[in-house]
């Protein structure tokens, strides 16, 4: 299950600006999954696993703490 990743040492949360992959789609490990904005950068986050995206837990625009689950992939 993907969690909000740390993109820099001071990051406490990230804002999900876009889900590149949608619920029901398949994703490969290492493939871009979503775009996250921090105070310093905007960056794509790659999928930590291959599988089907069963549920997106954090919608676009959500401010998500580092480590919080953002989607379910199986």
Instruction: Sketch the domain layout of the chain as residue ranges.
Output: 13-73
pLDDT tens digit string along 47-59?
999 999 999 999 9
Pick the CATH number of 13-73 from 2.40.50.100, 3.20.20.140, 3.10.180.10, 1.10.10.350: 2.40.50.100
Tokens of 21: 């992959």
Structure confidence at residue 46 (pLDDT): 95
Q: How far is it, in rounded angstroms, from Cα 24 to Cα 9?
A: 33
| Segments of the chain assigned E as strands | 13-19, 26-27, 32-37, 42-46, 51-56, 63-65, 71-73
Tokens of 38: 């921090």
Residue with tokens 């199986």: 74
Residues of the chain with pLDDT under 70: 1-11
């Amino acid at each position: 299950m993907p969690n909000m990743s740390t993109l820099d040492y001071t990051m406490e949360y990230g804002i999900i600006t876009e889900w590149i992959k949608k619920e029901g789609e398949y994703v490969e490990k290492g493939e871009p999954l979503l775009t996250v904005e921090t105070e310093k950068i905007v960056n794509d986050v790659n999928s930590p696993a291959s599988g089907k995206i069963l549920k997106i837990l954090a919608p676009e625009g959500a401010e998500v703490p580092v480590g919080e689950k953002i989607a379910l992939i199986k």
